[in-house]
């Protein structure tokens, strides 16, 4: 018996990285999964590989009408939606005063507005299904400062606040809302070498680990499957009395600075 038997969960940004691992793990735990992304070819391939309990639906999370279409497609495929993982996000590095306005707005539109639109579109469906959970992907940068990612940090801080408000408002509808705050995770977002077909993926991962060896007490970057397991915990009944909370998963990075 799986932890998510009978559940239908929509996961954004599920064509690769954390979202893909979440979709695969949720399916293995008995859920029907609706994978959404703007990377249609990759998303369709992942859904096909997972099997008949998965569907891929194109979704630009920053467009409200696209959310309505995605929810309708999910209900057509599986009859209901009672879980949401707002995973989709983008990252750009730039000095704050040198960040173009359109770049700042793009990051806010995808990361912050996309999360808001997901809650707005899916919460009524979860309530109609009798309740469930929403997991928002914030960041280590959503609970502390980080230089050169001002727009990203602003959006991720907003997601933490939005999570708390949503938890308060949706509790009476039997919907729990929590946030994950990952640190450096070995995905294409933090490790672009993964997108280079000629690159050695293992070597790229070792290089990322080396970069964070002195910053992170556990001495390495996180793995997407580790974040997926946290998403599973927050989606399943294992966390039935938890709502409105940000969960930092960063190998101890936020704990402080070691002098050793």
What is the per-residue pLDDT across 224-256, written as a single tens digit (0 to 9) for each? 999 999 999 999 999 999 999 999 999 999 999
- CB neighbour class for 30 (10 Å; exposed up to 12, middle 13-18, buried from 19): middle
What confidence tens digit (pLDDT) does each residue in 3-54 have?
999 999 999 999 999 999 999 999 999 999 999 999 999 999 999 999 999 9
143: pLDDT strictly greater than 90: yes
Torsion angles phi and psi, residue 46, rounded to 5: -65, -45
152 is catalytic: yes
Integer Cα distance of 175 and 161 in angstroms = 17
**CATH number for region 8-185+224-250:** 3.40.50.720
**Given this model, what pLDDT does residue 203 score?**
72
**Can you tell me which residue has the tokens 């009859």?**
79
User: What residues does each domain of the chain span?
Assistant: 8-185+224-250, 192-221
For 240, phi then psi, to 5°, come to -60, -20
Catalytic residue among 56, 152, 212, 241: 152
112-135 pLDDT, tens digit each: 999 999 999 999 999 999 999 999
- Tell me the pLDDT tens digit for each residue of 77-90: 999 999 999 999 99
Q: What is the pTM of this model?
A: 0.93
């Amino acid at each position: 018996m799986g932890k998510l038997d009978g559940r239908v969960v929509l996961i954004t940004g599920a064509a690769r990285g954390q979202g893909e691992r979440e979709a695969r793990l949720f399916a293995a735990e008995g859920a029907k999964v609706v994978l959404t992304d703007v990377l249609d070819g990759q998303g369709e391939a992942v859904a096909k590989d997972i099997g008949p309990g998965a569907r891929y639906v194109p979704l630009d999370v920053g467009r409200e009408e696209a959310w309505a279409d995605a929810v309708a497609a999910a209900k057509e495929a599986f009859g209901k939606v009672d879980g949401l993982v707002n995973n989709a996000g983008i990252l750009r590095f730039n000095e704050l005063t040198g960040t173009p306005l359109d770049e700042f707005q793009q990051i806010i539109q995808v990361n912050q507005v996309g999360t808001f639109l997901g809650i707005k579109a899916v919460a009524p469906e979860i309530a109609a299904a009798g309740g469930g959970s929403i997991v928002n992907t914030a960041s280590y940068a959503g609970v502390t400062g980080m230089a050169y990612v001002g727009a990203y940090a602003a959006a991720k801080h907003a997601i933490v606040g939005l999570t708390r408000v949503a938890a308060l408002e949706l509790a009476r509808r039997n919907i729990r809302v929590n946030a994950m705050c990952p640190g450096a995770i070995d995905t294409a977002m933090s490790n672009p070498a993964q997108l280079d077909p000629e690159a050695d993926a293992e070597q790229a991962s070792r290089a990322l680990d080396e970069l964070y060896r002195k910053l992170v007490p556990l001495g390495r970057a996180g793995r997407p499957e580790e974040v997926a397991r946290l998403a599973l915990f927050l989606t399943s009944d294992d966390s039935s009395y938890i709502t409105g909370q940000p969960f930092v998963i960063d190998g101890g990075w936020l704990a402080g600075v070691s002098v050793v």
